[in-house]
A and B are shown apart, each in its own frame.
Chain A
Amino acid sequence: MTRFLRNLAIAAHILGLGSAVSADTQYPAKPITWIVPFSAGGGADTWTRILAERAEIHFGQPFIIQNMPGGGGVIGWQELLNRPADGLTVIHASPTPIITLLSEVQPLFQPTQIKLAGYLGAYETLLAGHANENYQNWDGLLAYAKKNPGALTVAGTNAPLISVAGIFKEAGAEVTFVPYQGTSDAVTDFLGGHVDLLAGTTTSVIGLTSSEINILLNASDQQLGDSVKDSLGGPLPPVASELGFSASANPRWVGMHPDTPDETVAKFSEMLGALLADEQVIAQISATGEEPGFAPADIAQERYGNLVTLIDNSITLLD
């Protein structure tokens, strides 16, 4: 295989494509630093550590993981912008820093200051409710909410609340949002019956389903993963985008400095795709309860743009 590549490089050189190809084959010449803008132990951190175990096989270089928490995920992003645009530093984040930047009156920089290298799977926001006689499903819930404006309370952290806020707005239903700082507090108050509905990520909501608790809506643009479908057993909740709402799943995204050359981004994205297809990586990520997936740079860039617009439109709805 290596001999084949070398021969190919020699052939390319003879054909006068030398400089461009050799620059490409050299990347990455050094270990790649992954900035995780959150503290150790979270979702992005766990994923990155799983990826790093197989990095050398697919990239020919190890990954250096750097946790840079703080500033709502923006400190790590700022660090990326301060480093050279050579593709040797990337950031792996969730929508959190985007929300931080968009909720600031005078942000340090815009969330568009990034070149996407890929989406590593995306998780849905689910809306769950207690079993009761007023509503059994999404349609019933909407009808009840329209009849009783503001009466229903929805608990959740900021990111899932933003995901459902836009949908309620588009449906013309008024509900009361009760923001929490941690998912567990929101889940506790929901289970205790202190709030009516819970908006949360798939992993945090799926374990709660029982005869007492129903999932009413999948507030995203993708179907639930197979393992989640299995553990759910019964009928699947409707997908918001299929009902005609503008909705998006929350991605785990990997980005590079906005000035990084397109060829470097493409090269990185290709290797990243191979890494995500590695069987060991898939097995370990699945064990955390999430579904690995991959969207390459160009597709990720487009979906990212839509996500930023969506968050920007929904963020004021929580006030």
Chain B
Amino acid sequence: MKLSRRDFLKLSGIAAATTATGGLASIIPAAAQDEIVMQWWDHFLPLQPLTESVFAAYKESNPNVTVEYSVFSPPDLGQALQLAYPNDQAPDVHALAGISVPIPALKNEGWFASMEPYITEEWKNSLPESIFIEGRTTFGGELYSFPIFSFRSHEALVWFDKEILAAAGYDPEVGPRTWDEFRDAARKITENGNGTVFGWTQGIGHTERMGATLTRLAQLAGISGDIDWNTGEYAYGADAYVNALEFLVSMERDGSLFPTAITIDTRNARSRWATGSGGLFLDGPWNPGVLQGNFPEFLDKIGVSQAPVPDLDTPSYAYALPKSGDFWISSQSDYPEHAAAILQQFTSEDYQIKLAERMDQPPLDLDTVAKANVHPTYAQCMDFFRDIVRLSPDPLVKNPAVAEVLSRMNDIRPNLGEIVQGVIAGEVSDIPGTLQAYSDQLTAERERAITEAQAEGFEVSQDDWVFSNWDPTADYTSDMYGA
């Protein structure tokens, strides 16, 4: 039988303790002699230097604690966790990505350890009230995790090369604001582009993102999202979705879409956009952060504007679900106290300012950005988010048993993003019919899963997806669930 390193360390710790107690010089407590090696897995590549500096700082005060840090790509992280947990190989702390099993379901499998025994009231009180959400960060009132990023964010901002947009007759300080303007700007940019510059560059092959982008545009066209909170029904067949998809397709039909875009992912598309293919690019606030690292000479040329809307007369909003925790302590960890101690560093103002300066997802408190040294477009993004992003109701928070339904639902493929790609690539011509069919399939699948969960004794029904007191213009705060 081979010993894993952790076993070995445990054993050598015991051996050290035995010699210490049995030996002559037992002044130093055994624990101080333990070399502790912790595993930490996440997918926050752009934050890597910052994360490593937190570990280094912790090692200063705790010289016996070393953190072995692995950054995975999101799908790899999901698979790694899926294989590690059943074999007792889980890291001490990890992020969750590439795995969309609802967090309460993972909690029920016993994946996570509570932070509660290792944290102070004082630190807990320093956290914003809005992050304490049962089923997302707390279980049974105990804090398990917390987000380091704000929920107030979206990925459909319009990014552009200011010169190219100005040449198309649009003010780069304002950008194309409506669908019509976006389409028109894209067309003009293509006309000016001599067959090499195109109006719209996007990673259409990145279907998860395209699904999210479509939902975002549909929200801004007046729907609450995948699910209509007034009825609890899937909303993919609604006009807002159909119109938003027709808007995206219109660019392809105009010839304004960068042709290679259809199969490439967002990372690749951004590279092409930044090196000459294009005018408009829909992306999140992390865009300047990536450009700063990889395409610094392009950073000064870019401008940003709010996600396009059908018309400017009706106020538009985008909705974001409450954020789950970003890091979780594994129940298999031998050092939860060190894990919790390190994690507490992530909410310090000093850390949050540095986080903002990496220009990734927005920091927990958007106002932190004002104190940070960031690219002007990143600061602008924060204003855009404050203006339109609202906290959405969450069925999982209303009734944790919803997790039992979600984890029994099988995927319906092609999914929303694949439909977007299919329509743009000309594989699908009936937009309303396809979206409605997708909606209907999901409805049937959810009904099946609800019946199954009910049969196993869980109290859950479609009513858990209905929020009659939802106000589309305001945040849906924790106190509204009870009302």
A and B are interacting partners: no
Q: Which residues of A are at the interface with B, using a C-beta cutoff of 8 A?
A: none
Q: Which residues of B are at the interface with A, using a C-beta cutoff of 8 A?
A: none
